[in-house]
Amino acid sequence: MPAPQECRRVAFFKMHGGGNDFILIDHRERCFPRPEQPKLARRLCAPKVGVGADGLILLETSDRADVAWRFYNADGSEAEMCGNGARCAARFAVLQGLAGPRLTLETLAGIIHCEVMDRSARVQLTDVDDLRLHLEIPVGEETLTGHFLRVGVPHTVIPVADLEAVPVTRWGRAVRFHPLFQPAGTNVNFIKVGNPHELWIRTYERGVEDETLACGTGSVAAALVAARLEEVRSPVLVHTRGGEVLTVTFAPGEPFREVYLEGETRVVFEGRLWLEEIL
């Protein structure tokens, strides 16, 4: 795709939230045409020929919010929402002077309200819907019991007795593509509740197609399902695979209201992309 010379050396940040890592680009100049963005995401997120990341975030101007994003998974698919991505995007916007510490982010899931406090970022998620409890999910010779809901994106939460023993990739892939959740598919979260304010999680992420070190919307989905099963109550500390602890808060009652995700974000490095193989 032909591009102006200034689009061939593109500034970027590499950031992560809880080990969920992203490439972030100030894309207000719109260097990359929309049809080419999935290809760009696949190449930049690839670990050997690109930067390596779980996703690509392009921040653009918005008529409805302080800033808008296009969010792409590592496989090039576009996602409606990503909790950890939104936290990183909010801090990136503040660091780049695109918005103040209280800002709104336009996503395909709706307008997300964010607050940045030094390295920590807090985001309010859009409405939760399509809650379905106690689903029987045949996986090979076993039947798993899962609970489905949409937290901007689809998630299935599966409580387990031994989180370390779970074959996350095998079970996760089977559930992610299961006919029950087509055509969109689902992210898959395996959880173990420790006490009324604490749980542990491992996530198979749609679009990455493997286990990730953390998933923000998955952490929220896990906390809300466990709350509906009367195993936890707000606030809930969610221990991710990457070792980070995310905090999920929500108002009591039904339906879920005032749902927030909070945790640290970290800048890994910044630099310039030489897009010789892409442009």
User: What pLDDT is attached to residue 127?
Assistant: 81
What is the CB neighbour count within 10 angstroms for residue 110?
A: 15
Region of 137 (left: φ > 0; alpha: ψ -120 to 50; beta: rest) is beta
User: What pLDDT is attached to residue 276?
Assistant: 74
Start-to-end CA distance of the chain, whole Å, equals: 5
Helix (H) or strand (E) holding 136: strand 129-139
User: What pLDDT is attached to residue 29?
Assistant: 87
The answer to whether residues 74 and 20 touch, using CB atoms and an 8 Å cutoff, is no
What is the CB neighbour count within 10 angstroms for residue 86?
A: 28
Listed as ranges, residues in the chain with pLDDT below 50 are 1-2
Sketch out the chain's domains with CATH numbers: 5-124+266-274 (3.10.310.10), 129-254 (3.10.310.10)
Q: Specify whether 88 is catalytic.
A: no
User: What pLDDT is attached to residue 8?
Assistant: 74
Q: Which of 31, 45, 82, 114 is catalytic?
A: 82
> Residue 269, SS3?
strand
The answer to whether residues 242 and 259 touch, using CB atoms and an 8 Å cutoff, is no
SS3 content of the chain, % helix, strand, coil (to 5): 20, 45, 35
What is the CB neighbour count within 10 angstroms for residue 229?
A: 14
Q: Provide CB contacts within 8 A for 132, sequence distance 6+.
A: 147, 148, 149
Q: Specify whether 215 is catalytic.
A: yes
CA neighbor of 201 nearest in space, from 186, 221, 184, 181: 221
pLDDT in tens, 257-272: 999 999 999 999 999 9
User: How far is C-alpha 192 from the geometric centre of its chain's CA atoms?
Assistant: 20
Q: Which of 31, 88, 114, 215 is catalytic?
A: 215
The answer to whether residues 208 and 248 touch, using CB atoms and an 8 Å cutoff, is no
User: How far is C-alpha 226 from the geometric centre of its chain's CA atoms?
Assistant: 19
User: What pLDDT is attached to residue 6?
Assistant: 61
Q: Rounded CA gap, 177 and 136, in Å?
A: 15
